[in-house]
Structure 1
């Protein structure tokens, strides 16, 4: 199968380069267009997670869990721990599998397909799916290679794999990218969850020049081009429409961190024009409180800022990783950050958003893999 798939992909590339025999058919205009017939031949048997319960959008919910960075080859013991916290919804916000593990640039993305297949087989994950409704967005490792964005040549097939595995809605499947939004609950207890896609449309980042003396906190600078995009025109237009809908509380889900500038890894601050645009869009929302959720960092923490373009204070809870920690304990000393209101916990972790509709307060909690709180903050949202 490997040789068959690689051969077809090679033919597609040759067709794009004009190296095959001419015909009356117009030449494909891009590598993606040239590969579509090939990917269509692979689409019949893509991995799927087991079905889960549907979200009851008419009923108020008050307990939402989330997490990121789940490696399919590692233990899955955190799932029953999360289940014990009785989430009514769980958000997978990126690096939900590591499809780029052992990836060598093959067009068929077979390592991504294998990653999804393995994740679908884990009993703990299956049991969690059977119990808890889930929504998902992606980050780089389940989208493409490390730190990849809109120039990834095989992103359309990556999208097919993602949407098949997570059983995405017809609305999500019907447009490029995997951004999504759901609104749940009755008037007065209406929560809107916006799942952004920070990968499919993102323009290239700017790399910092090598420096022996620079601290090891990443290697991306700022993109000064005001025309560079993180979300893409279609997603920006969609976001404005979603924010025009009424809500009492909104969860803005981004795979990469939004508020912080304390590091040079991937973050919204790499494209300051886009981050300002995000703040301005959020400032124009049709009412309701707001919390930002993020992942990616293989550490978790709670942040608070007052961006001028937003015109109000906002909290961001970062949760990472579910089963792929790089260290343990509070590692905040290596990344001083005036916006962080907690330690920077490298232990395996998950986040909980617990809403008290009566008081208009929400508890934002980062929990360790044992289920105990690493940090919690109770804030007002109205």
Structure 2
């Protein structure tokens, strides 16, 4: 017997549970009442909370396994990054990443594909099963046992393709995420999975900021349906000032984080920031929010900065100028779910003035190398044999 109900069944059960039984005058007749029924408004989060509390006691919650902590005094010189890892696909990339000897690995979204096979059950059983399968791989467990990791999510491990803040099961998806990755007390104490960490001695402090572009994000504006679907996405830029990518609390938090002393900041967004060349998911969907992010980065406490992103099942290096400052972004995607190895075709399909490399559709991971003496960064894309696809060096 399934331990989780469909959302419709769950909603009906909870509605019945919170609806008081009518008083009876006789055996089969409700007692008269002088008071009209009072409507009670409940959010999906409130409605589903009792169900999830009970479910937590019934099911085995998958965990990723032991992971060493990153010592606070570590001088970081190499960080690896990856996204789009399917639990049903080969796990060969963990050995390749390990061979690069990173001190920290950033798992930045679509860390599993838990919405594959989802049948709309409120317990997100397919997501829970995806985490359990991922944890079972010795390649993944061996890597995690040696290399400190930090993680944020994207849509396929949030719960549903392209979903945002109106996804009714987001709270349970968050519980599964935080349990699997062993999230910090700070993350567990608030809605969403955004996080920040500062590592290193004064003069070599690295701040890693992991944004949550899912939990609070407003619905996207869709293009009108046509017989010939747009080849580069079906969303339109939306300048509605009521729309948000991060939500008020996360925006306030981010402003506070960017005011902290640090020498280098690594800002992670699961979806792309700089490019406006497509209308798949990305900050290009909300130009006002994109400009707000660039403004905050521009106004940060003095430091270097680089943006990391994933999502696209292809990789590239991007550059933009914002009010006189050059900003760089490394998009690394995917670890084991590529759309092919024809990089020239992928590049031609998506011309982009902001991209300074080809658009690499083969399996890849990224590296950020820090030269503290020169105050320089080298961002690199590696394929599944660790051959270099592209690299870019710049100073701050």
Instruction: Tell me which stretches of 4 or more aligned residues in structure 1 moved more than 3 Å.
Output: 11-28, 211-215
Q: Report if the CA contact (8 A) 1:60-1:186 is conserved.
A: yes
> Among residues 289, 310, 327, which one is paired with 2:340 in the alignment?
327
Question: Which residue number corresponds to residue 261 of structure 2?
Answer: 246
Q: Deviations over 1:165-195 (max 9, x none)?
A: 0000011000000000000101110110000
* Alpha-carbon distance change, 363 to 5 in structure 1, aligned in 2, over 3 angstroms: same
Question: Which residue number corresponds to residue 351 of structure 2?
Answer: 336
> Among residues 256, 275, 280, which one is paired with 1:265 in the alignment?
280
Q: Report if the CA contact (8 A) 2:10-2:122 is conserved.
A: no
Shift of 1:14: 4.6
> Among residues 43, 66, 82, which one is paired with 2:97 in the alignment?
82
Shift of 1:8: 9.2
Q: CA–CA distance in 2 between the matches of 1:210 and 1:8?
A: 28
> Among residues 51, 67, 88, which one is paired with 1:38 in the alignment?
51
Shift of 1:12: 4.0
Q: TM-score, normalised by structure 2?
A: 0.92
The farther-off stretch of 337-346 and 327-336 is 327-336
Question: Which residue number corresponds to residue 94 of structure 1?
Answer: 109
Q: CA–CA distance in 2 between the matches of 1:188 and 1:34?
A: 49
Alignment of 1:172-211 (within 5 A): 172-211=187-226
* Alpha-carbon distance change, 8 to 249 in structure 1, aligned in 2, over 3 angstroms: closer
Is structure 2 residue 42 aligned with structure 1 residue 29? yes
SS of the residue aligned with 2:202?
coil
Shift of 1:34: 1.5
Q: CA–CA distance in 1 between the matches of 2:6 and 2:222?
A: 34
Question: Which residue number corresponds to residue 50 of structure 1?
Answer: 65
SS of the residue aligned with 2:325?
coil
Shift of 1:307: 2.6
Provide the aligned length of Structure 1 versus Structure 2.
378
Is structure 2 residue 111 aligned with structure 1 residue 112? no
Q: Structure 1 unaligned runs (5+)?
A: none
Q: Report if the CA contact (8 A) 1:8-1:38 is conserved.
A: no
SS of the residue aligned with 1:366?
strand
* Alpha-carbon distance change, 30 to 18 in structure 1, aligned in 2, over 3 angstroms: farther
**What's the C-alpha RMSD, in Å, of the aligned pairs?**
1.9
SS of the residue aligned with 1:97?
coil
Shift of 1:38: 1.1
Q: Report if the CA contact (8 A) 1:9-1:38 is conserved.
A: no
Q: Report if the CA contact (8 A) 2:14-2:48 is conserved.
A: no
Shift of 1:334: 0.3
Q: Deviations over 1:11-32 (max 9, x none)?
A: 5445448984448999562221
Q: TM-score, normalised by structure 1?
A: 0.95
Question: Which residue number corresponds to residue 157 of structure 1?
Answer: 172
Q: Report if the CA contact (8 A) 1:16-1:27 is conserved.
A: no
Question: Which residue number corresponds to residue 307 of structure 1?
Answer: 322
Alignment of 1:130-169 (within 5 A): 130-169=145-184
Is structure 2 residue 293 aligned with structure 1 residue 278? yes
Q: Which structure is larger by alpha-carbon Rg, 1 or 2?
A: 2
* Alpha-carbon distance change, 99 to 213 in structure 1, aligned in 2, over 3 angstroms: closer
Q: Deviations over 1:130-181 (max 9, x none)?
A: 1100000000000021100000000000000000000000110000000000
* Alpha-carbon distance change, 304 to 27 in structure 1, aligned in 2, over 3 angstroms: same
Q: CA–CA distance in 2 between the matches of 1:19 and 1:252?
A: 43
The farther-off stretch of 79-88 and 274-283 is 274-283
SS of the residue aligned with 1:358?
coil
Q: Report if the CA contact (8 A) 2:75-2:204 is conserved.
A: yes
Shift of 1:268: 0.2
Q: CA–CA distance in 1 between the matches of 2:377 and 2:301?
A: 19
SS of the residue aligned with 1:160?
helix
Q: Structure 2 unaligned runs (5+)?
A: 24-37
> Among residues 309, 321, 331, which one is paired with 1:294 in the alignment?
309
Is structure 2 residue 361 aligned with structure 1 residue 346? yes
Shift of 1:105: 1.1
SS of the residue aligned with 1:149?
coil
Q: Deviations over 1:95-154 (max 9, x none)?
A: 000000101211010000000000000010000001100000000000021100000000
Q: CA–CA distance in 2 between the matches of 1:220 and 1:7?
A: 29
Q: Report if the CA contact (8 A) 1:9-1:35 is conserved.
A: no
Q: CA–CA distance in 1 between the matches of 2:22 and 2:385?
A: 63
Question: Which residue number corresponds to residue 5 of structure 2?
Answer: 6
